[in-house]
Structure 1
Amino acid sequence: MSITKAERFINQLENALKHQFDVYGNDKLESLPLRFSAHYYRRDDRYMFTKNVTVWSVENNQHIFLYEAKTSTIEEFEQFKQELDQYIRQHKSKRTSHMSSIYIGLFLTVNSPDPIVERKAKKTRKVSFIQWGKSGWYERYLAVLSLPDQRVTMNKKGYPFIKSFIESITEN
């Protein structure tokens, strides 16, 4: 049984993320089947005298969802974006210690993507404050990963969040 280029890429990305993230294979994003989802949670607390007296606490989260596109059309891209937004609405934190959550949707294409999809990915960025900033904020980015071109297209503000993982794979 031979492993396709897409399978190899997905396995390498999944392994690169496992060192820092909780990775769940064959996950679902509402109605869309995902190849995997990865979740990173960080909480920092500052105490006074004992752990019973908390001075401050901060939470930062990062979530990555990999969807392998079947047709890589703009309609499929929009559906992925809507499903991700629905997930964010259902899972956003309401705790006052929450500071930020980053949601990244990776739209993997096994053929060259439509230029319209790539342009849409470059423009796709959403920042929203939770309870007027009292409970932090979340950011949502979408990236198009083109396997034939070995190229990542996404908003330039979101690229640093996945840059190290993608570069570690493409060097091999």
Structure 2
Amino acid sequence: MAIDRATFLEIVKDAYSAYYTILPVEEGEELPLAFRAEYKVRDEQYFFVKSANIWSNEKYEYCFVFSAPSFDAALAEKCMDFSLAEMLPKVKPHKQHQYTNCKVILIADSLDDAAIAAVRKKHFSKSYGFLSTEGYTELLAAAVDLSKEKTYANRVGHDLETFFGKLFALRHEETPDNGK
């Protein structure tokens, strides 16, 4: 039995709320954007006092979660392009910038082969400064097929397949009838 999309969205939102700031969706969006999430962290090491900074770096992730009964290749491309267009102006490269990633997640009751292929082949990478000295940006894309409980991701987003696999496994452990 496939999991209900609204229920799964709440599970995903709850999982992301542990480390990400969940942002409300703006009214009037033409795309099926369910929610946005932002992750920002600054790490640093200093010698005795904060003014004696040895190193520091900043990491950012902007996550866009889209939900629809089905995605075709055109809609999947449109969602990924929209996410990149929203995220790229927020990138502020500087000496301590390590990375700013754009994470796009498409959650659907079912996916067609063209949409899966569009997600798998989508690639975006950009370096800032000479030899990436001011950081880089990558697109992590994944499509979740709830009917098959399977996740498809691009090369950079392969960790998303593991993440959603764990969410599906956790769901099967929690249901008394083993998810059937």
For normalisation by structure 1, the TM-score amounts to: 0.85
Q: What CA deviation, in whole Å up to 9, does each residue of 1:40-99 have, x standing for no partner? A: 222111223311232221112222210113551221112112111212321112232110
| 1:12-161 equivalent positions in 2, closer than 5 A | 12-26=11-25, 32=31, 34-69=33-68, 71-110=70-109, 112-132=110-130, 133-161=132-160
Distance 2:168 2:69 in 1: 22
> Any conservation in 1 of the 2:107–2:143 contact (CA below 8 Å)?
yes
**RMSD of aligned Cα (Å):** 2.3
Instruction: Give the counterpart letter for 1:121 in structure 2.
Output: V
Which stretch shows the higher mean deviation, 5-14 or 123-132? 123-132
Distance 1:69 1:47 in 2: 47
Partner of 1:170: 168
> Any conservation in 2 of the 1:93–1:135 contact (CA below 8 Å)?
no
SS in 2 for 1:102: strand
Identity among equivalent pairs (%): 18
Distance 1:161 1:143 in 2: 7
Structure 1 unmatched runs, 5+: none
Q: 1:139 offset after TM fit, Å? A: 0.8
> Any conservation in 2 of the 1:60–1:98 contact (CA below 8 Å)?
yes
SS in 2 for 1:96: coil
Q: 1:163 offset after TM fit, Å? A: 2.4
Q: 1:131 offset after TM fit, Å? A: 2.9
Instruction: Give the counterpart letter for 1:14 in structure 2.
Output: K
Distance 2:137 2:18 in 1: 23
For normalisation by structure 2, the TM-score amounts to: 0.81
> Any conservation in 1 of the 2:62–2:87 contact (CA below 8 Å)?
no
Partner of 2:177: none
